[in-house]
Amino acid sequence: MKLAFIGLGVMGYPMAGHLKKAGHEVTVYNRNPAKAQKWVGEYGGAPTSNCKSAPTPAAAAKGQDIVFACVGRDSDLRDVTIGKDGAFESMGKGALFVDHTTASAGIARELSAVAQKAGFEFLDAPVSGGEAGAVNGKLTIMCGGSEASYAKAEPVMAVYAKQSRLMGDSGAGQITKMVNQVCIAGMVQGMAEGFSFARAAGLDIEKVVEVISKGAAQSWQMENRYKTMAAGEYNLGFAVEWMRKDLSIVLDESRRNGASMPVTALVDQFYAEIEQMGGKRWDTSSLFARQERARNKS
């Protein structure tokens, strides 16, 4: 297929690479053109290779069957779609725009309406699995949109997904990703408190985890983050500033739908404290650093 990929960050760069490796013709756009040229150099090979970079999102999207995007925030997504030289300017009838950004449900519905009016489709498709999942092609994708648009996108997305599912109409993918982030935030804070409690009691965290991870407390976060948490290493995985962005989306949505989110709001405050500690770029397991600081002060 003829594809475009907009946004070559830590997630988009390898995801676009998987599409190229699968044999698709891929045009990329990145706000920093040097990053796009680096991608073409890595995945393009010969000058006649069927991949290239484009100077604008509109140029990247022109003539494509599917246009993928993975950018930072609602504002970034709006810029690359309906902003000046945005992708929506040049997308043809019957094309599909697939958005992998973690964004609000509101902008997903807004852009879906714009796309439908223009004669093409929009699928919100946020991902979970982090950089490792993107590199290894093991992402989980939560989608919102029509069954037809999902059916078109799913076999293409399969090259970087271990699982994908259509959750409902436009915005449903983003709402599902919000649930994912809520669960992670509460889980990591529980681990931070539990590990701090264990250390205060004089227990060896590794021994504790060896036991409790075989029971009901087991989780992906525990298996993959307990060693670095206990060692005070927070340079792995999803950054605090991005989790705060995601939690702000959750809290905004909860004010609209009336859901009570006391734990999520509290953990967001804890992440704000970590930012004040200089941990804006620390990974989300750094809740343990805040917990230990509070314990050592008491």
Distances (CA, A) of 78 to 50, 70, 110, 127, 255: 28, 12, 10, 19, 23
Separation of alpha carbons 11 and 2, rounded Å: 20
Show me where the domains of the chain are located: 2-168, 176-297
pLDDT of residue 237: 80
pLDDT of residue 22: 95
pLDDT of residue 215: 95
pLDDT of residue 52: 93
**CATH number, domain 2-168, options 3.40.50.150, 3.40.50.720, 1.10.1490.10, 3.30.300.30:** 3.40.50.720
**CA 80 to chain CA centroid, nearest Å:** 17
pLDDT of residue 35: 96
pLDDT of residue 45: 62
Q: How many residues does the chain have?
A: 298
Beta bridge mates, 166: 143
| pLDDT averaged over 10-residue windows placed end to end, the chain, 298 residues | 96 97 96 96 72 96 98 97 98 97 98 98 96 95 98 98 98 98 96 97 96 94 93 92 97 97 98 97 96 88
pLDDT of residue 49: 65
**CATH number, domain 176-297, options 1.10.1040.10, 3.30.360.10, 3.90.110.10, 3.30.70.141:** 1.10.1040.10
DSSP labels, 164-219: EEEEESTTHHHHHHHHHHHHHHHHHHHHHHHHHHHHHTT--HHHHHHHHTTTTT--
Catalytic residues: 177
